[in-house]
Structure 1
Amino acid sequence: MIAMSDLFRVSLRQVVRQRGFGVIISIALGITAFIVLSVLGREIRYKVGQDMVLMGGVNVIQVLMGDSQYPGQPRREFFPAAVEALRRLPGVALVSRNVREGKRFALRGEGERSLSVGFIGVDQYFSEVYSLTLAAGRFFDSADIEGRRRVCMLGREAAKNLYSEPEQAIGKLLFLEKDVFEVVGVVSGVMLGSWGQGGFLPYTTMIDRNWGDGKVTRLFVRAIGWEDVSPLVRLIPTVVREHQAAPYLVVRTQEEQLARIKGTFLWVEALLWLGIAASLMLGGFGIWYGTFAAVRARTREVGLKKAMGGSDTDIMAQFLAEALCKSVAGGILGIVIGVVLVEAGAWALGTGISYPLLIASSLGSIAFSAVIGVAGGLYPAIQASRMDVVSALRFE
């Protein structure tokens, strides 16, 4: 029986002679994609998904007191203990307080410009919850909220209508009833919607003046990802009612947009795995076809080996080893490229790498590559081992 070291040495030499690099690359691409998706798939899905949900705002849950819809009911507000309990829920990124009912003020801008602008009360987390961007100035900070300062932010459209350019609004003084407020920021964002034509005040400042509701009657809860929205919708009423009376609590989400995003991700993920499977199957068929071609091209060689005393097992082992060398070479190349891409992807995404998962996926890739080689080369190898000696020697 041929020695194992000689078997693989001869097999590697035959693989180089046959130049089956297309098969090796095909398997390598499939293995590379498998490793990257296995190790970084969750992070990639989260990052891409977050961009999509932020554009539509589907990961922002509005929680509000619905007492105003029921005559005779007291106007309840959210207690600090309930807000803190919501912030501790798994899947919650941020919770922002809001004075839901706003108040409109007639403002005078440059020249003869005048505009009726509606203001709502928000806290320092509102800009992050709704992924706002600064057109000029700064966002509210905790000092503005806790100090009940007379400052405000304007939406980009409101600032342009009043002062032509957002930058010109910074530092301007607005007369809101008897108080003077300084414009400290101009904000914009995809999720801002009609609020871009209005303004924002610290919710504590609005409560002090009893503007709008005069109470925190709405919360904006930003989920970490779209997968967290449905569980949070079920948990939020229970958590709030554990800390206060809230008989008419309303929880609002954008269900239709969320369902569309989920469907889109499902199809994208399915297509990615289908592409990996197709690449690996193509490699397997390439091994199958290449081994058959090798058997046919070396029919006389097989007959000669058998005539010299080679066993059927030796013949089958040689062709099977060649198929294994191709597939495992593709697997090793795929692992090398995959590890490099995982390192680069982790750096680009700003996340860590689960090295146990990377090692497990690499070992699994080698095993799967070997399975592809055996599956693709076994039948041709068996056919070669069963050749008749005389017929093989006469083959032209």
Structure 2
Amino acid sequence: MITVRDLIHISVRQVFRQRRRSLGVVLAIALGTAGLLAVMAMGDEVKKKLNHDLDLLGGATLIKMGFDEEKHPGTRDKFFTDETQEALRALQGVDVVSAATEKINWVPMFVNDKKYVVPVQGVDAGYWSANSLEPVSGFLFDKSFVGKRALVCVIGEELAESLFGEENALGNYIHIGKEMYKVLGVVGGLQIGQRKSYAFVPLTTAIDRSGKDYRSDRIYLRCKTWDDVKPVADALLATVKAHQSADYLVIEVSWEQLHRLVLIVWWVQLFIFVSIGATLTLGGFGIWNGMMSSVIARTREIGLKKAMGAEGRDIKSQFLCEAFCLSLSAAILGVVLGYWVVEFTSHFLGSTPSRDVFMNYAGMSIVFSGLLGLVTGYYPALRASRLDAVTAIRFE
């Protein structure tokens, strides 16, 4: 019986000898393995990036919470306490929780002898991230400004143009109520919508200067991924009830946009995996076809080995090992290509999967390719092992 060491040595040498014939098969399996590895390794990173940039999809991971103004009694204040906000932030799957004032203060302003009625809203530092808003110029106030109750503001693009025209709005002051607020930045983004004409001030500043008329009665909650939206939405009512009254609580979720997003991603993933599966299938068929051709070309060799005492299981083991080595070499090449694809993709996404994640998927890809070689090479190996020694020797 042939030893394992000799079996591997002979198989590797045979694969190397037939490298030109096997080049197409190796490339097919390598490309399929590289694609599969890249999709699996980068799947979570792509999902994070896509969830961060959902402006074009209607902000499907954004959940809004407030109280029904028409139903709740006017004798009882309705706002989200600090304990409730912290509990919401602690929920699994929650990325950002932002508090804001639901009530908008319409403030008359006079600039260059022109009167403007400007909607003013108090927001905290998490408002920008929760609503996917970015500064067009300047910067958006952060926790330090909110904590200091600073007299600063951020204005929308349309308001900046109306108030200052082509002049740079940064550093200018505008009247809000009886005080002057310094413009720190101009905010934009697809999700800003009608708020392009708004002025935003720190939530603490708005509450201090407006009393009970302005409270933290609006919550913007951004989930980490679209998979987290449903479990988070289901947990919101119980979380609020555990820390305060949840009477007349209204929870708004963009279920239609979410469903549309999941459906789009599902079809894209299906197309990618079908393409990769087709590539691997062609590679497996190539192994089968190549091994069948090898059996026919080496029929006399098989006959001579049997005449010299080789058993059928030895012949079968040799051809199976050749198919395995062929697919394994393709898988290793695919892992190398997959590594470079992941590095290239990570450069553009600005996010890299951990080495452990990549190595786990690389190991899975190699095991899968090895099994592919064994499965597709089994029949040719079985056929070779059943050849009659005399008939094989006489084969021309």
TM-score normalized by the length of structure 2: 0.89
CA distance in 2, matches of 1:213, 1:48: 38
1:281 aligns with 2:281: yes
> Would the alpha carbon gap of residues 65 and 14 (structure 1) be closer, same or farther in structure 2, given more than 3 Å must change?
same
Aligned-residue offset at 1:195: 0.3
**Corresponding residue for residue 119 of structure 1:** 120
Q: In the TM superposition, what whole-angstrom CA distance separates every residue of 1:53-76 from its partner, at most 9, and x where no partner exists?
A: 685222221111214335655342
Change (3 A) 1:79 1:11: closer
Residue 116 of structure 1: CA displacement?
2.4
1:368 to 1:147, Cα distance in 2 relative to 1, 3 A:
closer
Give the secondary structure class of the aligned counterpart of 2:102: strand
Closer/same/farther in 2, CA of residues 387 and 134 from structure 1, 3 Å limit: same
Alignment of 1:61-72 (within 5 A): 61-70=63-72
Secondary structure of the 1:120 match is strand
- C-alpha separation in 2, matches of 1:311 and 1:177: 97
Aligned to 2:105: 103
2:147 is the counterpart of 1:137: no
256-265 or 266-275: bigger deviation: 266-275
Partner of 1:270: 270
Counterparts of 1:318 and 1:351, CA distance in 2: 41
Q: Deviations over 1:112-164 (max 9, x none)?
A: 65432211111222122222221222212334323333322110111112222
Deviations along 1:285-323, whole A, 9 cap, x unmatched? 111100111112222333333344443333323322221
1:337 aligns with 2:337: yes
1:7 maps to which residue? 7
> Does the CA contact (< 8 Å) of 1:102 and 1:212 recur in 2?
no
1:80 deviation in Å? 1.8
The 8 Å contact of residues 103 and 212 in structure 1, kept in 2 or not, is answered as no
After TM superposition, the structure 1 stretch with the greater mean CA deviation from structure 2, 57-66 or 207-216, is 207-216
Corresponding residue for 1:34? Answer: 36
Distance of 1:145 and 1:9 partners within structure 2: 71
| Contact 1:114 1:162 (8 Å CA) reproduced | no
- C-alpha deviations, 1:15-56, integer Å up to 9, x for none? 233220221222222333333344442223222333236852
Percent of aligned pairs with the same amino acid: 38
> Which runs of structure 2 are paired with 1:197-236 in the superposition (5 Å)?
197-210=197-210, 213-236=213-236
Task: Decide whether the 8 Å contact of 1:97 with 1:220 is kept in 2.
Answer: yes
Q: How does 1:254-269 map to 2 (within 5 A)?
A: 254-269=254-269
Structure 1 stretch 287-296 or stretch 79-88: which is displaced more? 79-88
Letter in 2 for 1:174: I
* Distance across 2 between alignment mates of 1:146 and 1:374: 65
**Relative to structure 2, which stretch is displaced further, 321-330 or 306-315?**
306-315
Where does residue 89 of structure 1 map in the other structure? 91
Inter-partner Cα distance in structure 1 for 2:365 and 2:313: 27
Aligned counterparts of 2:212 and 2:377: Cα–Cα separation in 1: 76
Task: Give distance in 1, aligned partners of 2:131 and 2:25.
Answer: 49
Match of 2:46 in 1: 44
Contact 2:292 2:380 survives alignment (8 Å) = yes
The answer on whether the counterparts of 2:30 and 2:333 sit within 8 Å (CA) in structure 1 is yes
Work out the CA distance in 1 between the residues paired with 2:186 and 2:122. Answer: 15
Letter in 2 for 1:32: A
Q: Note if contact 1:54-1:131 (Cα within 8 Å) is conserved in structure 2.
A: no
Number of residues of Structure 1 aligned to a counterpart in Structure 2: 393
d(CA) in 2 for partners of 1:288, 1:191: 54
- Are the structure 2 counterparts of residues 79 and 21 from structure 1 closer, same or farther at C-alpha, using a change threshold of 3 Å? same
- Displacement of 1:264 in angstroms is 1.9
Aligned residue for 1:256, secondary structure, equals helix
**Greater CA deviation, 142-151 or 370-379?**
142-151
For 2:175, give the aligned amino acid. F
1:161 aligned residue? 162
Preserved contact between residue 54 and residue 130 of structure 1 (Cα < 8 Å): no
CA contact 1:65–1:249 (8 Å) conserved in 2:
yes
Offset from partner CA, 1:256-307 (integer Å, 9 cap, x none): 1111111222222333333333222222111110011111222233333334
Q: Which amino acid aligns with 1:228?
A: D
In the alignment, is the contact (CA less than 8 A) between 2:51 and 2:61 conserved in 1?
no
How far the C-alpha of 1:330 sits from its partner, in A, is 1.3
Contact 2:319 2:377 survives alignment (8 Å): yes
Q: Confirm or deny: 8 A CA contact 2:45 2:353 kept in the other structure.
A: no
Give the Å deviation of 1:368.
Answer: 2.5
Structure 1's 247 and 106: CA in aligned 2 closer, same or farther, altered over 3 A?
same
> 2: CA distance between counterparts of 1:142 and 1:385?
75
**Structure 1 partner of 2:242:** 242
Ranges in structure 2 where 5+ consecutive residues have no aligned partner: none
Measured on the aligned residues, the alpha-carbon RMSD in Å equals 2.7
Aligned to 1:78: 80
Partner of 1:146 in structure 2?
Answer: 147
